[in-house]
């Protein structure tokens, strides 16, 4: 029996389009049918536009007829709804931006479309990318395709769930403290947080500007690598972007002679024993492939979560000051004498609980009398963590850790306990604090749910991570949500 077209990876479908076996329009139609069948149960999307997608697919087929085929030709793409586009609203899953349509397109999205990707819709997330479960979306949570009673992770929840459920082949997400990698782990997909500055942030709704990074999710290393190569590179519209040349991945899984370490700080107390078991299995797979294991110590890691939430919330309190109801979303005119009171009331009823919590925490740590004690100290810890990680990466080529200390938890289990929710990020925030590339790779199952392992490397060494990820993907089980999960 022939597998449905929506089960193809983007790389596989491109090869079949090139061979004339299928068209981009047929590939898109299969995915639109899959969305109709699955989306009511998963709720991965906030907006869809079949008409715009069909135009893009038709353009891909026209290019192929002329003997041209872009690197992402026909790839069905979901886009996290903090990345501005022209064909859909950009709401950041917040009532304060409900209905807002951007007058320009994010650089990352423009580059993906220019290389043949077909945008199938904007995906759900925790409001303003602040959360680890999707339960903070103003428009309702996304559900995990493996178990509809569990969260898909966050904040790029819809992107990961759409890929896992076969509704998109690849997706764009953003990662400020693990928001690509953690949902990738929970949903059994691949997800990359590139080096800070490697992908332009132009057109991305800001959360914490010194850590936000756009990155790809997909069902294979090759898909993630090709989407990464399409969107990476310097951008004159983003002064923080890096002009470092983008090295293409050759498809290699050769890790012979590469050194890695599994830091004790990442597999100790708080890590589910089942998750730790999968990490050990991944380490054995790398050793079998010819890699070498060494030991490193990262004692500053224990302070990472505290430092991250102080820095991130401080930046969020500044970035979200622009949303006043007068310039974005359902705007209205307000007389000057009543403006301050109106804005305060509007923000109070339009922002969700978690966003308000972080704005208040961030404003507090930046206020007079607390700046030195909290924010400045957190920045010093951040510098220490970066120095420590870079020193460790002088002795090994990459680190191998769990992506998350737990598998996907049940809806409602942590949403009313902020500290328990924040603890899920404890193993992913270090890469953001240090600006390093990190990738989540599906490595096995625990209690029938996906477990991702995290590969963390030196700045601009994404290609090396792809090699290690490919070595793992060829040696470890890669079950699909539509074969073993709830959306068969």
Provide the residue count of the chain. Answer: 488
Q: In degrees rounded to 5, what are phi and psi of residue 438?
A: -150, 145
CA dihedral 221, 226, 229, 232 (to 10 degrees): -80
Spot the catalytic one: 133, 134, 157, 179.
179
Question: Which residue reads 């969305």 in tokens?
Answer: 35
Please report where in the chains the tokens 């942590």 appear, as a residue.
414
Describe the crossing of helices 462-473 and 273-288 by its angle, rounded to 10 degrees: 100
Catalytic, 179? Answer yes
- Helix and strand element counts for the chain (H, E): 16, 11
Q: Given 80, 156, 350, 428, which residue is catalytic?
A: 80
Distances (CA, A) of 227 to 78, 218, 249: 12, 9, 11
Q: Mapping DSSP to helix (H, G, I), strand (E, B) and coil, where does residue 330 land? A: coil
Query: CA 383, 388, 389, 394: dihedral to nearest 10 degrees?
Result: 130
Q: Do the beta carbons of residue 325 and residue 331 sit within 8 Å?
A: yes
By C-alpha distance, which of 457, 11, 2 is closest to 229? 11
| Dist CA 50 CA 120 (whole Å) | 7
Catalytic option among 132, 133, 155, 185: 155
Whether 185 sits among the annotated catalytic residues: the reply is no
Q: Is 157 a catalytic residue?
A: no
Cα gap 389→386, rounded to integer Å: 5
Beta strands 438-446 and 190-193 are antiparallel
Q: Hey, which residues are catalytic here?
A: 80, 155, 179
């Amino acid at each position: 029996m022939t597998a449905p077209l929506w089960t193809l990876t983007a790389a596989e479908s491109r090869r079949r389009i090139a061979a004339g076996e299928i068209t981009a329009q047929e590939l898109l139609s299969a995915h639109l049918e899959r969305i109709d069948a699955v989306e009511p149960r998963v709720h991965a999307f906030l907006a869809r536009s079949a008409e715009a997608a069909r135009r893009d697919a038709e353009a891909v087929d026209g290019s192929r007829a002329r003997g041209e085929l872009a690197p992402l030709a026909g790839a069905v793409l979901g886009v996290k709804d903090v990345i501005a586009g022209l064909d859909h609203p950009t709401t950041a899953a917040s009532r304060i931006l409900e209905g807002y349509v951007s007058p320009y397109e994010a650089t990352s999205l423009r580059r993906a479309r220019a290389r043949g990707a077909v945008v199938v819709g904007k995906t759900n997330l925790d409001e303003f990318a602040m959360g680890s479960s999707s339960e903070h979306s103003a428009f309702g949570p996304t559900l995990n395709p493996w178990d509809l009673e569990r969260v898909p992770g966050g904040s790029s929840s819809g992107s990961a769930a759409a890929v896992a459920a076969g509704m998109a082949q690849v997706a764009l997400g953003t990662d400020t403290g693990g928001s690509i990698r953690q949902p990738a782990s929970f949903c059994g997909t691949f997800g990359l947080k590139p080096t800070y500055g490697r992908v332009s942030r132009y057109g991305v709704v800001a959360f914490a500007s010194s850590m936000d990074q756009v990155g790809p999710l997909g069902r294979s290393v090759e898909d993630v690598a090709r989407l990464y190569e399409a969107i990476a590179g310097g951008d004159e519209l983003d002064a923080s972007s890096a002009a470092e040349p983008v090295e293409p991945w050759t498809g290699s899984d050769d890790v012979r002679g590469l050194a890695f370490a599994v830091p004790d700080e990442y597999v100790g107390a708080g890590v589910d024993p089942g998750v730790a078991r999968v990490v050990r299995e991944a380490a054995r797979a790398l050793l079998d492939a010819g890699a070498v294991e060494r030991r490193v110590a990262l004692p500053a890691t224990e302070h990472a979560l505290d430092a991250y939430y102080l820095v991130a919330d401080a930046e969020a309190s500044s970035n979200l000051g622009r949303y006043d109801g007068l310039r974005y979303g359902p705007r209205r005119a307000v007389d000057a004498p009543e403006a301050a009171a109106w804005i305060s009331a509007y923000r109070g009823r339009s922002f969700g609980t978690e966003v308000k919590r972080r704005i208040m925490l961030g404003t507090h740590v930046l206020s007079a009398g607390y700046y030195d004690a909290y924010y400045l100290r957190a920045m010093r810890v951040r510098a220490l963590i970066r120095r420590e990680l870079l020193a460790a990466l002088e002795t090994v080529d990459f680190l191998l850790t769990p992506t998350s200390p737990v598998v996907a938890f049940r809806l409602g289990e942590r949403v009313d306990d902020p500290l328990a929710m924040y603890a899920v990020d404890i193993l992913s925030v270090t890469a953001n604090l240090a600006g390093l590339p990190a990738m989540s790779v599906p490595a096995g199952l625990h209690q029938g749910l996906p477990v991702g392992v995290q590969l963390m490397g030196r700045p601009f060494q994404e290609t090396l991570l792809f090699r290690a990820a490919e070595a793992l993907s060829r040696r470890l089980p890669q079950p699909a949500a539509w074969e073993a999960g709830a959306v068969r």
